[in-house]
Amino acid sequence: MGQDRLSSRQRDILALIEAEGAQYIEHLAARYGMTTQTLRRDINALCDLGYTRRFHGGVDLPVEGRNISVNVRAALNSGAKQRIARRIAAVIEPNSTVFMGIGSTVQFVAAALREHEGLRVVTNNIDVALTLSEAPQVEVHMTGGLLRHNDRDVVGADALRFFEKFYASYAVIGAGALDPTKGVLDFSYSEAQTTTTLIENSRTQLLAADVSKWTRDASVRVVPFKSIDTFFTDRLPEDGAAMQALADAGTEVVLCGEDPA
């Protein structure tokens, strides 16, 4: 059973765990009005796929599936993220429709877009919306969905359906991790779903990620590199595998190194 074969209840359980943390089987059974035996079949399927892990009486995300808070992420490599953001903002044309997805680097892009004219931005990222609230000439559409407190975004079926109402000129996306053979990875099924929806409903896909993402460990596949038009980063790993994978995929790479003195 692959990601696209999960039931709506299984997707809802995943989103609930991601938003609120560990859940107990008896509480979940009561929430969905079903027996614990029936509920365990959903949990077993999610665990078998690696999306969750069992503990005595309950279920949680895998240990490696936890991401650090978005505020901490924003502080990491902030100089590189600002340079990446400025380069992305420079290629986005005025009067465009722009999807802006999950991640701290995407928030930096929003800040770099505050002087743009006539943009329509569609986002599930609360910090993006707040940043662009200071730019009255930018039209901001905020999706509904389930709030993830740690990540300051919303996810779930409502968010996906809202994005699907638009066809964007650009999708600006982040990544939980990058891998030369697996492509773009993230920490949760709902994050992967959101990013995939942005990619499928946009004309040009712009990936923003600093070099640290090549050493992070995330377990949910999002898309291969061939689904990305342009990758903006501060630098690539020195071993050459990433460069070769991106070249093979036909993905343009824009290196956003140190600003000239």
Positions of the chain with pLDDT under 70:
1-5, 18-20, 62-77, 259-261
> 83 Cβ partners below 8 Å, 6+ apart?
234, 256, 257, 258, 259
- Per 3-state DSSP, the chain is made up of helix, strand and coil in percentages (nearest 5) of 45, 25, 35
- Could you read off the pLDDT of 122-171 as tens digits, one per residue? 999 999 999 999 899 999 999 999 998 878 899 999 999 999 999 999 99
pTM of the model: 0.73
What does the block give as tokens for 237?
A: 């790993």
Provide φ and ψ at 158, rounded to 5°. Answer: -60, -40
> How high is the pLDDT of residue 64?
52
Distance CA 104, CA 151 (A): 9
CA–CA separation, 35 and 53 (whole Å)? 20
User: Alpha-carbon distance 192 to 82, whole Å?
Assistant: 24
Q: What is the pLDDT of residues 96-129, one digit of tens each?
A: 999 999 888 899 999 999 999 999 999 999 999 9
Q: What is the pLDDT of residue 70?
A: 45
- Segment holding 42, helix H or strand E: helix 36-48
User: What is the residue type of 218?
Assistant: A
